[in-house]
Amino acid sequence: MPSSVATAVPERDPYAISPGVASAAKRQHWVDAFHAVRQETERRAAPLSDEDQLVQSMPDASPIKWHRAHTSWFFEQFLLLAHHPAYRMFDPQFAYLFNSYYVAAGPRHARPARGLITRPTVAEVTAYRRHVDAAVADLISTAEPEKLTDLVPIVEIGLHHEQQHQELMLTDILHAFAQNPTAPAYETGWRMPNVKGSTSGFVELAQGIHQVGYEGGGFAFDNEHPAHRSLVGPVRVARGLVTNAQWLAFMADGGYDQPMLWLSDGWARVEAEDWAAPGYWQSVEGQWMSMTLAGLRPVDPNAPVCHVSYYEADAFARWAGQHLPTEFEWEVAARTGELWGADQLVWQWTRSAYAPYPGFATLPGALGEYNGKFMINQMVLRGGSHATPEGHTRVSYRNFFYPWARWQFSGLRLASYH
Ligand SMILES: [Fe+2]
């Protein structure tokens, strides 16, 4: 199950990158971490047929086969071609097919048409993965000590990149399966994890200047830097997540029928797409059911609401007489350890626009396109979900999506200023 995924990428590199030091243990550490993450991708793909792996159910979702190939291309493009003198490409045409959005890395296939790529086959993509796996393991094992110091950060970002795609594999196949009237299950036993802890009341934050963003010697994405100070509070951040029962009350009170609750763009979306419930919900003989990774299941009133957009989260908060927290209010509250299910159930929308931190700088070269160029028109989500590989996120981690997106595992917690 996604919730039982073993930690693959260590939060901290115990063999911290120090010039001139390249012990056998350090090499083995990174070879092991590499294989663990690559295998997790294959484990997530294993329940899926070749037909499942080809489908692209909307332009924002990608075929599973594409995810498996693209994450391999990432290592080929940024690690092997740049640093492995003897590397031979598996197929030079794959660079065009499996580059996602890296303009500096060359031309690429149109994203909305990824589902039309029947060749290479799933078996050929598997062979491509094995080819890249062998070359990366060879490079880590044989690189000159000074060279290894340069390579480890690329291996590391490649692994965190692949973990992000592991979550997308589940969000994207769920969207595909939700289009199927037979509501197939990805995994019949899938359930939201049981998370212990208090769900009542608020974490109270007095006014103060707090450090936010990533500090430390481990891995963090560039968008979590630089750490800086922010004025936070007074604010109260809910310990619990908004539940399906609360969402049903919002619906029963006409939440989707009252334009005064909605942002203008959100109300336009409600009208254009006939939103009357969270994504994947459908009423079956008077009972609300939801498409999940286990197929169509009754909506559990006690579970956190999932598959809501920013627009819906914002409208709900207004209806409840409360607010969404800013990303810094969320982060400072999460550092207390008192937010129930902070990173285990659903991502949580914040009311912060996805913007650069003061002094933000992208990585050099094409990898500078990883995060920075998306810092416009999107909103930040914090935490993590039941589909996030264990150990992937941090308290400073910033996820981001367009405000209308609802195919991610996205929910909310509330904040109050009174
Ligand atoms: Fe990617």
Residue 153 token pair: 């950060």
- pLDDT, residue 145, reads 87
pTM higher than the cut 0.85: yes
**Cis ω on the peptide bond leading into residue 356 (within 30° of 0)?**
no
Q: What is the pLDDT of residues 235-260, one digit of tens each?
A: 999 999 999 999 999 999 999 999 99
- pLDDT, residue 5, reads 36
Amino acid residing at 127: A
- Most confident segment among 6-15, 213-222, 293-302: 293-302
**Cis ω on the peptide bond leading into residue 226 (within 30° of 0)?**
yes
Alpha carbon of 259 to ligand 1 centroid (Å): 37
Q: What is the pLDDT of residues 187-234, one digit of tens each?
A: 999 999 999 999 999 999 999 999 999 998 899 999 999 999 999 999
Alpha carbon of 393 to ligand 1 centroid (Å): 16
Alpha carbon of 285 to ligand 1 centroid (Å): 41
Alpha carbon of 160 to ligand 1 centroid (Å): 10
Query: Which of 21-30, 73-82, 298-307 is predicted with the least confidence, judged by mean pLDDT?
Result: 21-30
Q: What is the dihedral of CA 36, 42, 47, 48, to 10 degrees?
A: 160
Q: Quick check: 353 and 379 in contact, CB under 8 A?
A: yes
Give the residue, 16 or 238, on which the prediction is more confident.
238
Read off the DSSP letter of residue 234.
S
9 pLDDT higher than 70:
no
Amino acid residing at 82: A
d(CA 151, CA 134): 16
Ramachandran region, residue 136 (left: φ > 0; alpha: ψ -120 to 50; beta: rest): alpha
Q: What is the pLDDT of residues 261-276, one digit of tens each?
A: 999 999 999 999 999 9
How confident is the prediction for the chain on average, in pLDDT?
Answer: 94
Q: What is the pLDDT of residues 51-63, one digit of tens each?
A: 999 999 999 999 9
Q: Quick check: 76 and 161 in contact, CB under 8 A?
A: no
Alpha carbon of 98 to ligand 1 centroid (Å): 9
Alpha carbon of 67 to ligand 1 centroid (Å): 8
Of 129, 340, 163, the closest CA to residue 239 belongs to 340
Question: Which residue, chain included where needed, has tokens 């481990």?
Answer: 218
Query: Which of 278-282, 296-300, 309-313, 368-372 is predicted with the least confidence, judged by mean pLDDT?
Result: 368-372
Alpha carbon 274 to its chain centroid, in Å, reads 27
Read off the DSSP letter of residue 323.
B
Query: Which residues have C-beta within 8 Å of that of residue 345, sequence separation ≥ 6?
Result: 192, 193, 195, 241, 304, 385, 386, 411
40 pLDDT higher than 50:
yes
Ramachandran region, residue 254 (left: φ > 0; alpha: ψ -120 to 50; beta: rest): left
- Give the DSSP letter string of 23-57: -HHHHHHHHHHHHHHHHHHHHHHTT--HHHHH---
pLDDT band for 90, please (50, 70, 90 cuts): very high
